[in-house]
Amino acid sequence: MAAALAPDGPLPVVVSPMRRTRETAAALERVWGVVADVEPAVGEIRAPVDDLPGRGAWLRSIYAGRWAEQDDALLRWRAQLLAAIGALDVATVVVTHFFGINAAVGAASGDDRLVCFRPDNCSRTVLENDGGRLRLVQLGAEGATAVL
């Protein structure tokens, strides 16, 4: 990822608090000499359960759903994520998660599905922010991303 993005920077980098996004962004931090901003709003989707098997079951239960069918907690998570991305006023690399990428792509393309594509690990999806309104420029590479 860092090699592919290096010619585009240095750019600000925003990451989820999760270790795996911090590790992904670390290469860009080194190449560009920047420090990523940790933004909880671009964090992993919030499950109503903490244990891994319960989280996996919950994710599978919502996977084929639509945003209009979701509860208030999940809609708040999505709204916070979209607000954080919509507040970015310069080109920025955001390192987030499967459902976060899908929430942003869905909002940018008018697609109400929770999963509108399957971003591969470290794929690059490009969105344009027009005063807080997202527009899809390019979908990242798709992969066979497994849901727990």
Say whether 26 sits in a helix, a strand or coil: helix
Question: What does the pLDDT read at residue 132?
Answer: 78
Instruction: Give the residue carrying structure tokens 């066979």.
Output: 144
Any idea what the CATH number is for the domain that residue 98 is in?
3.40.50.1240
Total number of domains constituting the chain: 1
**Is 130 among the domain residues?**
yes
Q: Which phi and psi angles does 74 have, rounded to 5°?
A: -70, -35
Tens place of pLDDT per residue across the chain (148 aa): 888 888 998 999 999 999 999 999 999 999 999 999 999 999 999 899 989 889 999 999 999 999 999 999 999 999 999 999 999 989 999 999 999 999 999 999 999 999 999 998 878 999 999 887 899 999 988 887 665 5
Domain region containing 27: 2-138
pTM of the model: 0.90
Question: What does the pLDDT read at residue 9?
Answer: 87
**Is 59 among the domain residues?**
yes
**Is 144 among the domain residues?**
no
CA-to-CA separations, 115 to 35, 39, 42, 111, 118, in angstroms, rounded: 30, 22, 16, 9, 7
